[in-house]
Amino acid sequence: MSVRSTIIEELKRVALEHDKPNTTFADETTLLDSGLDSLCFAIIVARLEDIFGVDPFNSAEELAFPVTVGEFIGLYERAVP
Amino acid sequence: MRRSLWELTDASGRPAERYLWHCGSTIALTRLLEETVLGGRASALYGRSVLVATANQLTAASILVELDGFAARVVICPPDLMPEHLASIAAGARADAIISDVETLSAAARGLECIEPSRLEPQPDLPPVRNQETGWVLLTSGTTSVPKMVVHNLSTLTGAISVGSGTGDVPVWSTFYDIRRYGGLQILLRALIGGGSLVMSDVRESIQDFLKRAGEVGVTHISGTPTHWRRALMSSAARRIAPRYVRLSGEIADQAILDRLRAFYPYAAIGHAFASTEAGVAFEVRDGLAGFPASLIGHEGGAVELRVNDGSLRIRSTRTALHYLNGSNPLADEDRFVDTGDMVEQGGDRYYFIGRRGGIVNVGGLKVHPEEVEAVINSHPKVQMSLVRARKNPITGFLLAADVLPRSQPEGPDASELLKNEIIAACRRGLAAYKVPVAIRFVSNLDVGASGKLVRSLA
């Protein structure tokens, strides 16, 4: 499974677990407009770390926080070996 | 002689050109000084103990300005105060009145005089001299039990603030915090006394809308927790503000968030402050590095003295709280040092925060006792015991992870997955979302110390 589809699947799973079933995750969707809150993103980042073995948020090269879903996916696509 | 908040605000210069902005309203400070939300009854509350439990922050701020110097005690109730805790808080404060526009709270305040605040309206005469040493009582957050009631007064609260000179630019302060929490109250007082304006947040407002609003009025100084800031930087509205000063407090500021803020707001001074409701404002670090210089520790006789005992940071200063109103623990030791419960470790010439004593985990500003989560996990019939610990997270600082010792090891990956899901489901049923572990690991033993307690190591 690609990095992209893994991430989309995790986003959807967490949305479902937190009773936010009507969320959409297009590339241009702003993360904070997707309906997920900080806690949801914290959980997603932790799970993706378990899956991919990396946490690109802790990388010294990536100084900007992602704002859109597309940027969020791009962050992992660059980081996952 | 003691000066009241009203007098200090009045003396800080140009109140007609300074404002409090709240969702949908703009109030010049002159109105705060000349008008009333209490129908002019502040002086009737002279010497009394009063709970302030309003729906919005602006009303609460008006009441604080009106009552300081009259009331003997003002208990500042945070927005999430649970009605079932109100009676206990009223008893602890020996309150005889409550000012509230929240029905569930005024209904729970049996036996107290109830005063419903109005909108700001002119009062005919300014009330007489405010000469009471008002006790300001703050409530601590984070657990499901009755909050601790921490007593300050205006001088402990304003020890780190200098009175505005009335010259130069008016700083526009803002904070992601509610002003009824210690961190937010500091910013309100900085604005009022230090000669500034203030943009208040609102729980019903999205972070984008708040940042846009703050940007529109030209916010210059803004404070929040690292979690607030991580969320702000993920918002497209982060570019709407161009602050000169960015402040972090309330949680560990790691190097990543400091670097990101530096890159995002290159023209801002970025400071991370150590403060707590009990210990007061202790120090601020502005060198852009996580942790704090070891040289801060051990100086005797300064305005703020720091010690490290048994690994935790202790603070003695004129800004620490006076005492608790409830509970049996003293607030400070016999040398008047407050134990912050924040564990530090020295690395080279710096100290770094590594977590909370007792394994208490701070998840995005909300404190979790691991035992509470362990109790839910341990109630699963297939679980022998469990250890809940902090797991570092770049968004909320920490999340929870659980090491679970099952009665018998699950056979195969399917059985293991099934049991994990059952445990998580039980946690979701029994606990708030931020207390649910993000990961579960099955272990074959857990360390139990000589005391018979689980060995908890820090994250």
Whether the model clears a pTM of 0.90, i.e. scores above it, the answer is: no
Chain B partners of A57 at a C-beta cutoff of 8 Å?
256, 394-395
DSSP B139-190: E--SSSSPPPEEEEEHHHHTTT-PPP-S-SPPPEEEESS-TTSHHHHHHHHH
Q: Are residues B12 and B139 in the same domain?
A: yes
* B412 and B298 co-located in one domain: no
The pLDDT, as a whole number, for residue A48 is 95
Report the domain count for chain B. 2
Regarding whether B376 and B319 lie in a shared domain, the answer is no
Interface contact flag, A64 B393, Cβ < 8 Å: no
Q: Measured between beta carbons, which residues in chain B are less than 8 angstroms from residue A66? A: 234
| Residue in B closest to A41 by C-alpha | B395
Q: Is the separation of the CB atoms in B259 and B226 below 8 Å?
A: no
CA dihedral sign, ordered B28, B30, B32, B37: negative
Distances (CA, A) of B193 to B36, B40, B153, B163: 19, 23, 15, 5
Residues of B with Cβ-Cβ distance to A43 under 8 angstroms: 399, 438
Encode chain B (459 residues) as per-residue pLDDT tens digits.
689 999 999 999 899 999 999 988 999 999 999 999 998 888 889 999 999 999 999 999 999 999 999 999 999 999 888 899 999 999 999 999 999 999 999 889 888 999 999 999 998 776 677 889 999 999 986 556 788 999 999 999 999 888 887 788 899 999 999 999 999 999 999 999 999 999 999 988 988 999 999 999 999 999 998 888 988 998 889 999 999 999 999 888 988 899 989 999 999 999 999 999 999 999 999 999 999 999 999 888 888 999 999 999 999 999 999 999 987 789 999 999 999 999 999 999 999 998 888 788 999 888 888 888 998 998 899 988 889 999 999 999 999 999 999 988 888 889 999 999 999 999 999 999 999 999 999 998 887 765 566 777 654
Cβ neighbours of B440 in A, within 8 Å: none
pLDDT on residue A27: 92
What distance in Å separates residue A7's CA from the closest CA in chain B? Answer: 16
Q: Where are the alpha helices (DSSP H) in B194-301?
A: 207-216, 226-233, 255-264
Mapping DSSP to helix (H, G, I), strand (E, B) and coil, where does residue A8 land? Answer: helix
Taking CB atoms and an 8 Å limit, are A50 and B395 in contact across chains? no
Q: Is B78 exposed, middle or buried (0-12, 13-18, 19+ CB in 10 A)?
A: middle
- Report how far residue B12's alpha carbon sits from residue B162's, in angstroms, rounded to the nearest whole number: 10
Establish if B319 belongs to a structural domain: yes
In chain A, the residue whose alpha carbon lies closest to the alpha carbon of B264 is A64
Inter-residue contact B85 to B147 (CB < 8 Å): yes
What radius of gyration do chain A's Cα atoms show? Answer: 12
The pLDDT score that the predictor gives to residue B459 is 45
Residue pair B33/B10 in contact (Cβ under 8 Å)? The answer is yes
B280 and B413 both lie in a single domain: no
pLDDT value of residue B126? 67
Yes or no, beta carbons of A64 and B263 under 8 Å apart: yes
Within-domain flag for B452: no
How far apart, in whole angstroms, are the C-alpha atoms of residue B40 and residue B45?
Answer: 10
pLDDT for B216: 96
Burial (Cβ within 10 Å: 0-12, 13-18, ≥19) of residue B2:
middle
- For residue B323, the domain's CATH number is 3.40.50.12780
When CB atoms are compared, the residue of B227, B233, B399 closest to A65 is B233
- B202 Rama sector, left if φ>0, alpha if ψ -120 to 50, beta otherwise: beta
> What is the rounded CA–CA span in Å between residue B18 and residue B32?
11
Domain boundary among B344, B370, B395: B344
Q: Which residues pair with B224 in a beta bridge?
A: B248
Same domain, B282 and B418: no
CATH number, domain at B381?
A: 3.30.300.30
Domain assignment present for B305 = yes
Residue B300 is assigned to a structural domain of this protein? yes
Shortest distance, CA B65 to any CA of chain A (angstroms):
34
> Which of helix, strand or coil describes residue B201?
coil
Interface size, chain A vs chain B, as Cβ–Cβ contacts under 8 Å: 70
ipTM score for this prediction = 0.94
Query: Is residue B80 located within the same domain as residue B176?
Result: yes
- Residue B368 and residue B314 in one domain: no
- pLDDT for the residue B420: 94
Does residue B251 lie in a domain region?
yes
For residues B268 and B404, state if they share a domain: no
Among the partner-chain residues B227, B236, B260, the one whose CB lies closest to the CB of A38 is B227
Residue numbers of the domain that contains B293: 5-344
The verdict on a CB contact (< 8 Å) between A67 and B234 is: yes
Contact B304, B322 (CB under 8 A): no
Q: Within a domain: residue B161? A: yes
Q: What is the C-alpha to C-alpha distance for residues B201 and B22, in angstroms, rounded to an integer?
A: 7
- Domains in chain A, start-ordered, CATH in brackets? 3-79 (1.10.1200.10)
Opening angle at CA B54, ends B49 and B59, nearest 5 = 100
> Of B234, B363, B393, which has the smallest distance from its Cβ to A65's Cβ?
B234
How buried is A21 (Cβ within 10 angstroms: 0-12 exposed, 13-18 middle, 19+ buried)? Answer: exposed
Question: Is there a domain that residue B386 lies in?
Answer: yes
Q: Residue B59: inside a domain, yes or no? A: yes
CB contact under 8 A, A65 and B434: no
Best A39, A48, A50, A68 member to test B by mutation, with max B CBs in 10 Å, is A39
Say whether both B421 and B294 belong to one domain. Answer: no
* CB contacts, 8 Å: A45 with chain B: 393-395
- The whole-angstrom separation of Cα B365 and Cα B229 is 12
Pair (B300, B369) in one structural domain:
no
**B300 shares a domain with B425:** no
Q: Is residue B318 domain-shared with residue B195, that is, in the same domain?
A: yes
Contacts of A38 in chain B (CB under 8 A): 227, 230-231, 364, 395-396
